[in-house]
Amino acid sequence: MDIATHLFSALYQFGDAFAFLVLSACGLAVIFGMMGVINLAHGEFIMCGAYVTAATVHAGLPLPLGILAGTVVSALVGVVVELVVIRHLYDRPLDTIVATWGLSLIATQGTLILVGSTMAGVGTPFGSVQVGAYSYSIYRIVLFCAALGVLAALYALFNWTRFGVLARATIQVPHMAAALGVDTRLIYSLTFACGAGLAGLAGGLYAPTMTLVPTMGATFIMEAFVTVVIGGADVFLGTAPAGGVLAVVKSVMTSWQGQLFGQIGLLVAVIIVVRVLPKGISGFVLRERT
Amino acid sequence: MTGLLSLFRRLEGPQTVGRGPAFWGMFAVVLMGALAYPLFSDGYTVGNTVYFFVWVFIALSLCLIWGYGGSLSFGQTAFFGIAGYSYGILTINFGSAYGFTLVALVIAVAISALFAVLLGYFMFFGRIAGVFLGIVTLAVTLMLERFMAQTAGPEWHIGSARLNGFNGMSAMPPLTIPWPGEPIVLFADVGLYYFVLGVLVLVYLGLRILMNSSFGNVIVAIRENPERAEMLGYDVRKYQLITFVIGAALAGLSGVLYTVWGQYITPSSMGMTAAALPLIWVAVGGRSDLTSTLIGTLMVLAVFQALTIYGSQYALVFMGVLLVLTVLIAPNGLVLGAMNWLGRVTGRVTQRAG
- pLDDT tens track for A69-82: 989 999 999 999 98
* Domain shared by B120 and B252, yes or no: yes
For residue B325, the enclosing domain spans 275-354
For residue range A17-58, what is the model confidence (pLDDT) as tens digits? 888 888 888 888 888 888 878 888 888 999 999 999 888 888
Q: To the nearest whole angstrom, how far is the Cα of B195 from the nearest Cα of chain A? A: 33
In this prediction the pTM is 0.85
Return the higher-pLDDT residue of A288 and B8. Answer: B8
* Domain shared by B316 and B172, yes or no: no
Q: To the nearest whole angstrom, how far is the Cα of A103 from the nearest Cα of chain B? A: 6
Alpha carbons A40 and A32: distance in angstroms, whole number:
11
> Which amino acid, A4?
A
At B264 the three-state DSSP class reads strand
Of B235, B254, B270, the one marking the end of a domain is B270
* Domain shared by B117 and B243, yes or no: yes
Q: Do B119 and A99 touch (CB under 8 A)?
A: no
Of B218, B240, B270, the one marking the end of a domain is B270
Number of domains in chain B: 2
Q: Do A97 and B123 touch (CB under 8 A)?
A: no
pLDDT reported for residue B353: 63
| B33 assigned to some structural domain | no
* Domain shared by B80 and B202, yes or no: yes
| B244 assigned to some structural domain | yes
Residue of A nearest to B330 (CA): A95
Interface predicted TM-score of the whole assembly (ipTM), two decimals: 0.80
> Which amino acid, B231?
M
* Domain shared by B210 and B313, yes or no: no
Pick the range with the lowest mean pLDDT from A109-113, B99-103, B203-207: B99-103
* Domain shared by B296 and B239, yes or no: no
| B317 assigned to some structural domain | yes
* Residues from chain A contacting residue B224 (CB–CB below 8 Å): none
pLDDT reported for residue A5: 79
Q: Do B131 and A36 touch (CB under 8 A)?
A: yes
| B237 assigned to some structural domain | yes
| B226 assigned to some structural domain | yes
For residue range A204-247, what is the model confidence (pLDDT) as tens digits? 888 888 888 888 888 788 888 888 888 776 777 778 888 888 88
* Domain shared by B164 and B225, yes or no: yes
Q: Do B147 and A260 touch (CB under 8 A)?
A: yes
| B204 assigned to some structural domain | yes
- Answer whether residue A290 shows pLDDT above 50: no
* Domain shared by B171 and B257, yes or no: yes
pLDDT reported for residue B239: 92
Alpha carbons B189 and B312: distance in angstroms, whole number:
24
* Domain shared by B242 and B193, yes or no: yes
* Domain shared by B147 and B199, yes or no: yes
Over the range B190-214, which residues count as b (16 or more CB within 10 Å of their CB) and which as e? bbbbebbbeebeebbbebbbbbbbe
* Domain shared by B292 and B153, yes or no: no
* Domain shared by B233 and B288, yes or no: no
| B179 assigned to some structural domain | yes
- 3-state helix, strand, coil split of chain B in percent (to 5) is 75, 5, 20
Q: Do A102 and B150 touch (CB under 8 A)?
A: no
Q: To the nearest whole angstrom, how far is the Cα of B60 from the nearest Cα of chain A? A: 17
| B30 assigned to some structural domain | no
- Helix (H) or strand (E) segment spanning residue B161: strand B161-162
For residue range A161-171, what is the model confidence (pLDDT) as tens digits? 888 888 888 87
Residue of B nearest to A84 (CA): B328
Of B220, B235, B270, the one marking the end of a domain is B270
Using beta carbons and an 8 Å cutoff, which residues of A are at the interface with B?
32, 36, 38, 85, 88-89, 92-95, 97-99, 101-106, 108-110, 112-113, 215, 218, 221-222, 225-226, 228-229, 260, 263-264, 267, 270-272, 274-276, 278
Q: To the nearest whole angstrom, how far is the Cα of A169 from the nearest Cα of chain B? A: 23
